[in-house]
Amino acid sequence: MEYLIGIQGQDFVLVAADNVAAHSIVKMKQDQDKMFKLSDKILLLCVGEAGDTVQFAEYIQKNIQLYKMRNGYELSPTAAANFTRKNLADYLRSRTPYHVNLLLAGFDETDGPGLYYMDHLSALAKAPFAAHGHGAYLTLSILDRYYRPDLTRDEAVDLLKKCIEELNHRFILNLPSFSVRLIDKDGTHDLEKLIPVGSK
Amino acid sequence: IYDRAITVFSPDGHLFQVEYAQEAVKKGSTAVGIRGKDIVVLGVEKKSVAKLQEERTVRKICALDDHVCMAFAGLTADARIVINRARVECQSHRLTVEDPVTVEYITRHIATLKQRYTQSNGRRPFGISALIVGFDCDGTPRLYQTDPSGTYHAWKANAIGRSAKTVREFLEKNYTEESIATDNEAIKLAIKALLELLESKEIETLVTEIEKEKEEEAEKKKQKKST
């Protein structure tokens, strides 16, 4: 099953997602990127029903870009999160709901870093750290124990590594690698892929 | 009320509504477009606004996507609609084919839209001509012009609006390989074209450069005359 995680620091947000695209018991792809760039400083991490994920995420992505073209400036992360939630909510009570779980991470000039948790029932919550998937049950307690609001970038990455090691240790499914990205005032940065010990 | 066509042929084969729309374009402030080697330039005549009006809210050059822009001449309100439709199409295209639009594609889309309004019940044509500029994926610069009838053509340089004829004549004389040799030169050419019709306003450094060149030319002419 898929896994997403986000950790907010003082002036950055760190996010990671696993890279497996599976169909039933087969790993179809081991380098799937589950993060969608909504704008220079906003990332949408999206997991769930096959097809729904990409369709919904790309739809939101293009609408965010359209807003930029129409208005000359980009939507803030808060606005983008609420827009996404509204879309999800509208489709929820239609014949064609999107079954997706999301994390939206962004950096705002005035408000600073922000991490938003959204699920397939269109709940929206701003949180200092969050995770999706079965892996969340194993890692949220680690985040509870070790998270501090004043984490440095390196400390946040170490905390992330702790979580991933726990998955490697206790989670029944093998998740061989994780894409990691960091958002701060300078935009989105790709960090090194995290590969738990023992995976190829 | 909406089952009757407004744009119909006249006995001698004219579409008067379209021609009237073109008249509306001729009343709009001038816009000029120039295609250089690695640059495309759009310049617009800045209309003087009423004393109490906020100058900066009059926007005549609009981005349609990250790599395509357009300027228009004519009815500003009509332009808003066209620009909005074009912006949506740019994103829609990216969503369906995962590629940005080519300049020709979006021009064709706008032109098709305009033509549709010359052949629809209860609708009148859009009263704008547009200059659409941008770069295709392969880096080629493009400049296209559309008009209320829905025709579109590619141009090396063109002007639309009030003094389009004067500016176009200026461009026909002055658009040479030299005049667009560098990016700066292309921009200067656009500014020179606009200076043809109005007293210069706030175009700073490049205007001083142009004045210097004019002085140098005047000097040369004097020297030629004296020899």
**pLDDT tens digits, residue range B43-77?**
998 877 788 888 776 688 999 999 999 999 999 99
The reported pLDDT for the residue numbered B1 is 60
Q: Does B92 touch chain A (CB under 8 A)?
A: yes
Strands (E), B66-203: 68-74, 128-135, 141-146, 152-154, 157-160
Highest-pLDDT range among A139-153, B167-181, B192-206: A139-153
What is the spatial distance between Cα A173 and Cα A51, in angstroms, rounded to a whole number?
Answer: 22
What is the spatial distance between Cα B71 and Cα B158, in angstroms, rounded to a whole number?
Answer: 12
Average pLDDT of B79-92?
96
What is the spatial distance between Cα B200 and Cα B209, in angstroms, rounded to a whole number?
Answer: 13
Burial call B180-213: b when 16+ CB within 10 Å, e when fewer: beeeebbbbbbbbbbbbbeeeeebeeebeebeee
Question: Would the pLDDT of A125 be above 80?
Answer: yes
CB < 8 Å to B84, chain A: 70
Cβ neighbors of A56 (< 8 A, separation 6 or more) are A46, A87, A88, A98, A100
What is the spatial distance between Cα A104 and Cα B85, in angstroms, rounded to a whole number?
Answer: 28
The encoded tokens of residue B200 equal 């210069």
Q: Quick check: A69 and B94 CB within 8 A?
A: no
Q: Is the CB of residue A160 less than 8 Å from the CB of residue A191?
A: no
Amino acid at B109: H
The gap between the terminal CA atoms of chain A, to the nearest Å, is: 19
The reported pLDDT for the residue numbered B199 is 46
Indicate the helix (H) or strand (E) that contains A59: helix A52-71
Q: Does A66 touch chain B (CB under 8 A)?
A: yes
What is the spatial distance between Cα B226 and Cα B221, in angstroms, rounded to a whole number?
Answer: 9
Q: Does A67 touch chain B (CB under 8 A)?
A: no
Average pLDDT of A53-76?
94
What is the spatial distance between Cα A196 and Cα A138, in angstroms, rounded to a whole number?
Answer: 16
Question: Would the pLDDT of B217 be above 60?
Answer: yes
Record the pTM: 0.81
What is the spatial distance between Cα A33 and Cα A51, in angstroms, rounded to a whole number?
Answer: 14
- For β-strands A4-8 and A129-132, DSSP reports them as antiparallel
Average pLDDT of chain B is: 89
Specify which residues A130 forms β-bridges with: A6
Average pLDDT of chain A is: 95
Percent of chain B with pLDDT over 70: 93
Question: Would the pLDDT of A197 be above 90?
Answer: no
Q: Does B53 touch chain A (CB under 8 A)?
A: no
Average pLDDT of B1-26?
88
Q: Chain A: nearest CA to B65, how far in angstroms?
A: 6
**Sheet arrangement for strand B40-44:** B40-44, B31-35, B157-160
The overall longest dimension of chain A from CA atoms, in Å, is: 49
- What residue in B sits closest to A64 (Cα-Cα)? B91
The reported pLDDT for the residue numbered B201 is 45
Secondary structure class of A134 (helix, strand, coil):
helix
* Pairs of CB atoms within 8 A across A/B: 21
Cβ neighbors of A78 (< 8 A, separation 6 or more) are A108, A111, A114, A116, A126
Q: Quick check: B91 and A59 CB within 8 A?
A: no
Burial call A92-117: b when 16+ CB within 10 Å, e when fewer: eeeeebbbbbbbbbbbbeeebbbbbb
Average pLDDT of B151-155?
97
Q: Does A170 touch chain B (CB under 8 A)?
A: no
Q: Is the CB of residue A15 less than 8 Å from the CB of residue A4?
A: yes
